[in-house]
Chains A and B, each alone.
Chain A
């Protein structure tokens, strides 16, 4: 165990030097793509926001069912089957048919190549689930149908979220899918987390609709509140143009009355419709509705054929900017709820870094001092190993551009405390061996060999704990498991290669000395 070939010594030295170099690249600016890697600081250290958003798919499901019920009605109408008493309740479509048609309905839904109930050829499962309750039929989304629906609304939502965040212009946002109805957003170094939160919290569903007093409007009407939450107006459900028709939106200053407005331009279809509506509806009020609330309802004075217009509604410059941003980036398919938020200000992050570094320095010094007092020359060997170990650990974190969090720093400090364990096990074993064995070299050799199983078992248990933490933990805690886990490998390496190298050099030079350890 004590013999090292020249080649081995060289490669251990080079390896250690390499990691010392990589680690120091965190401190200096080096113009080389390989050495230009840096440890990422977690949000808790550099400041920033972690947001977990959940998509509320209920409106999407209801909308889809609404469309489906029309499709079902028309589809069977063509086959001369009359669908009766169709209604939607509790995310299910209910309907009746004559008794003689029942069989055909069931067959149509169960058909593998069904037009009305697709997905079977692709997923080996239909989109819809049909149930005959005896009284009526009940249609709901199957498991696969719901998954597909959720995935597609998640895909759309993540795109919109990305656009909105890009427009705010934060550096290196991290936007990821979680499950099939969640989106994780990590925003490092954010100035104004409240603004991003309110931007992401809005669906930004914009519609232009006529204000009407006619309760019997063909499309139905609904009562909507104004933004102030007090006034109300009855608005037709007929949508003249929606946010989809917008090409651009910008905040502007209206020079006439010094108001902030949002000006917009429409695509061709939108411009045409807007032109027609404004020509036939002169004198009427046009409500501009955002997420179920009326922003304003100006009276149409002229035909607007240019395909551009403006929205006023008592905006501040900030709120006009935000509305324009929301309109440019498009509406979310479904509302998003922020179900988890963790925001750390930059000054707290810096305080945490400082505290972590002070704790690391003090912990390190205490351990080094203790080891030196206890083991003298072998304490020194352990300490040098410990320093190199720290460099290798930080070097690996740098190399993989791992994220360092505050618990991660704690993990490093803990590694320092526990790293000496392996060396202590070895040295204590050697001491025992020396009681019976007078030959230093043999005693050291068997000390290393006999302590090996205990060291490996002991380290595997800690590693297992770290692995479980890595898979179960989130955010900062994950950072802890990374440093703890990587620390075990670097510790074993430094104990068995570096410390053993120093030990072997020292022992072979003092092979006849008594009371070596």
Chain B
């Protein structure tokens, strides 16, 4: 048996530090919102002419007066991703760019993807994203509250907060782009992390009923150990699937799978070191669950 409980205090400090640092990054550095949430235009180009490189392309685009612009390589050597504000929301901007590019480089570009999000829509998307994440947290809180006692619910939700905030913190730290698929990833993380926590909690509750003489400090450790091999195997298979998406699923899914990978790692950690320590600190005992049984 591994003595996870020996490190409860240490990792509580680590968790608090992680959350604090993440919050500092989120508040002072902020998130790198993509066009979904900031508005603007995105173009994915593929050139058939290998002589064109990112510098010449960047120079060309900066001459076009498109406002704040970024030109980057995207996966392949011949693929580029161009993003700009498109402040005036000009209607025929794509046509104009195409004509301009054809004039300078010859007809060598294939417009593989064009996305344009107006300021109104991006504000709405951001709002619904925030609502979706808050709603999912609230529903999870409520669900666990129904299924367990409030102490469990509190522990689970704290773990979820940790996962969401630290994952977003990493995205802030490395200036990774936040788009619609990241919101999907965060929601899935919420589901996954909850899943992980619930399995351990289920065992804690069962053990609480079984043993009246073991303190919660020991009891959580027993429960974590009993469910440990399941935790490891499920995390491993989920990570294997996610790594396959990250490395082979194409550029578009990179951000999504990265967020999920981080979420699975943090989710597994928080199930053990946040959710359970909350139970310990709230002094959950056999009485807690027996009272629940009476209520039913």
CA distance A424 to B229 in the complex (A): 9
Query: How many residue-residue contacts, CB under 8 A, span A and B?
Result: 219
Min CB gap A47→B, angstroms: 9
0 or 1 for each of B10-24: is its CB under 8 Å from A? (1 = yes): 000000000000000
**Is A351 a contact of B241 with CB atoms below 8 Å?**
no
Nearest CB of chain B from residue A178's CB, rounded to whole Å? 11
Question: Is B180 located at the chain interface by the 8 A CB criterion?
Answer: yes
Contact A457 B233 (CB under 8 A): no
A495 to chain B, nearest CB (A): 13
* A457-B202, A462-B191, A481-B184 as given contacts; A343 in contact with B140, CB under 8 Å: no
A275 adjacent to chain B (CB < 8 Å)? no
Q: Report whether A359 and B244 are in contact in the complex, using a CB–CB cutoff of 8 Å.
A: yes
B residues 109-143 in Cβ contact with A at 8 Å: 110-118, 120-121, 125, 128-129, 131-132, 135-136, 139-140, 143
Kindly state whether residue B106 has any CB partner on chain A within 8 Å.
no
Known: A413-B244, A484-B188. A424 touches B230 (CB 8 A): yes
| Residues of A372-414 contacting chain B, CB below 8 A | 374, 406-407, 409-410, 413-414
Number of interface residues of B (CB under 8 A): 72
Q: A414-B238, A460-B143 are in contact. Are A407 and B195 (CB under 8 A)?
A: no
State whether A421 and B195 are in contact (beta carbons under 8 Å apart), knowing that A473-B184, A480-B184 are contacts in the complex: yes
A371 touches B188 (CB 8 A): no
How far apart sit A240 and B132, CA to CA, in the bound complex (Å)? 54
- Structural contact, A370 and B253, CB atoms closer than 8 A: no
| A340–B122 CA distance with the chains assembled, in angstroms | 9
A44 / chain B contacts, CB cutoff of 8 Å: 252
CB pair A370–B237 under 8 Å, yes or no, is yes
Q: Which residue of A lies closest to B128 (CB)?
A: A472
A247-B243 Cα distance, complex, nearest whole Å: 60
Q: How many chain A residues touch the partner (CB < 8 A)? A: 71
Check A340/B199 contact, CB under 8 A, given A356-B249, A474-B180.
no
Q: When the two chains form their complex, are residues B136 and A418 in contact, meaning their CB atoms are under 8 A apart? A: no
Within 8 A of B (CB), among A330-353: 337-345, 347-348, 351-352
Q: Report whether B237 and A348 are in contact in the complex, using a CB–CB cutoff of 8 Å.
A: no
CA distance A222 to B184 in the complex (A): 53
Contact partners of B239 in chain A: CB under 8 A: 417
> CB-nearest residue of chain B relative to A348?
B112
Interface mask (A414-440 → B, CB under 8 Å = 1, otherwise 0): 101110110011001000100000000
Q: A484 to chain B: which residues have CB within 8 Å? A: 188
Report yes or no: B116 in contact with A340, Cβ–Cβ below 8 A: yes
Query: Does the CB pair A194–B95 fall under 8 Å?
Result: yes
Let me know if A476 and B118 touch, CB within 8 A.
no
The 0/1 profile, CB within 8 Å of A marked 1, for residues 180-209 of chain B is: 110110011011101110110011001000
Query: B9 within 8 Å of A by Cβ?
Result: no
Contacts of B248 in A (CB 8 A): 355, 358-359, 362
**Dominant SS among interface residues on chain B:** helix
> Which partner residue on chain B sits nearest A478 by CB separation?
B184
Contact between B203 and A454 (Cβ–Cβ < 8 Å)? yes
- Measured in the bound complex, the distance between the Cα atoms of B143 and A417 in whole Å is 24
Q: What is the 8 Å Cβ interface bit string for chain A, positions 458-494, against chain B (1 contact, 0 not)?
A: 1111111110110011101100110010000000000
A59: which B residues are within 8 A, CB to CB?
A: none
Q: Is the CB of B136 within 8 A of A465?
A: yes
Q: Is the CB of B113 within 8 A of A343?
A: yes
Q: For residue A358, which residue of chain B has the nearest CB?
A: B248
Instruction: Please measure, in the bound complex, the distance between the C-alpha atom of A477 and the C-alpha atom of B98, giving whole angstroms.
Output: 29
Inter-chain CA distance A406–B113, complex, in Å, is 14
Judge whether A41 is part of the interface by a CB distance below 8 angstroms: no
CB neighbours of A324 from chain B (8 A): none
Complex interface: chain A residues within 8 A of B139 (CB): 464, 468
Write out the residue numbers on chain B whose beta carbons fall within 8 Å of the beta carbon of A417: 237-242
Quick one: which of B46, B91, B129, B192 contacts A472, CB cutoff 8 A? Answer: B129
> How far is A481 from B226 in the complex, measured between Cα atoms in Å?
32
Q: Does B245 count as interface, using CB distance less than 8 angstroms?
A: yes
**A52 adjacent to chain B (CB < 8 Å):** yes
Q: With A464-B191, A468-B132, A468-B135 given, is the CB distance from A337 to B118 under 8 Å?
A: yes
Which residues of B have CB within 8 Å of A371?
A: 237
Q: Once the chains are docked, how many angstroms separate the CA of A54 from the CA of B139?
A: 33
A193 at the B interface (CB under 8 A)? yes
The reply to whether B184 and A469 contact each other, CB–CB distance below 8 Å, is yes
Interface residue? A367 (CB, 8 A): yes
Q: Would A453 and B202 be within 8 Å (CB), given that A366-B240, A481-B184 are in contact?
A: yes
Q: Is there contact, CB below 8 Å, between B195 and A428?
A: no
Whether A193 touches B147, Cβ cut-off 8 Å, given contacts A407-B253, A476-B181, is no
Complex CA–CA separation, A194 to B206 (angstroms): 62
Contact status of A462 and B195, CB under 8 A, knowing A356-B250, A406-B253, A417-B238: yes
Residues of A within 8 A of B250 (CB): 351-352, 355-356, 359, 406
A residues in contact with B191, CB < 8 Å = 461-466
> How far does the alpha carbon of A458 sit from the alpha carbon of B237 in the complex, in Å?
16
- Distance to closest chain A CB from B229 (angstroms): 6
A197 at interface, CB cutoff 8 A: yes
Q: Contacts of A340 on B, CB cut-off 8 Å?
A: 116-118, 121
Most buried by A among B131, B143, B236, B241: B241
Let me know if A352 and B252 touch, CB within 8 A.
yes
- A198-B91 in contact (CB<8A): yes
Measured between beta carbons, the chain B residues less than 8 angstroms from A337 are 89, 118
Selected contact of A458 from candidates B181, B198, B236, B240, CB within 8 Å? B198
Instruction: Determine if A454 and B241 form an interchain contact, defined as CB atoms under 8 angstroms apart.
Output: no
CB distance from B30 to the nearest CB of A (A): 23
Out of B114, B117, B230, B240, which one reaches A343, CB within 8 Å?
A: B114
Q: Is A313 an interface residue (CB 8 A)?
A: no
Instruction: Name, among A351, A414, A450, A462, the residue most crowded by chain B CB atoms within 10 Å (CB to CB).
Output: A414
- By a CB distance below 8 angstroms, the chain B residues around A341 are 114-117
Given contacts A339-B121, A480-B184, contact A461 B199 (CB under 8 A): no
Q: For B180, give its contact among A348, A352, A424, A477 (CB under 8 Å).
A: A477
B contacts, CB < 8 Å to A: 44, 46, 89, 91-92, 94-95, 98, 110-118, 120-121, 125, 128-129, 131-132, 135-136, 139-140, 143, 147, 180-181, 183-184, 187-188, 190-192, 194-196, 198-199, 202-203, 206, 226-227, 229-230, 233-234, 236-245, 247-250, 252-253, 256-257, 260
Ordered by A's residue number, 20 sampled pairs between the chains whose C-beta atoms are within 8 Å are A337-B89, A338-B91, A339-B120, A340-B121, A341-B116, A356-B249, A359-B247, A363-B240, A367-B237, A367-B241, A374-B233, A406-B249, A409-B249, A418-B195, A461-B143, A462-B192, A469-B184, A472-B131, A473-B184, A477-B183
> Apart from A338-B118, A413-B242, what 10 extra A-B contacts exist at CB < 8 Å?
A198-B95, A343-B111, A348-B44, A356-B249, A414-B188, A417-B239, A461-B191, A472-B135, A474-B125, A477-B181
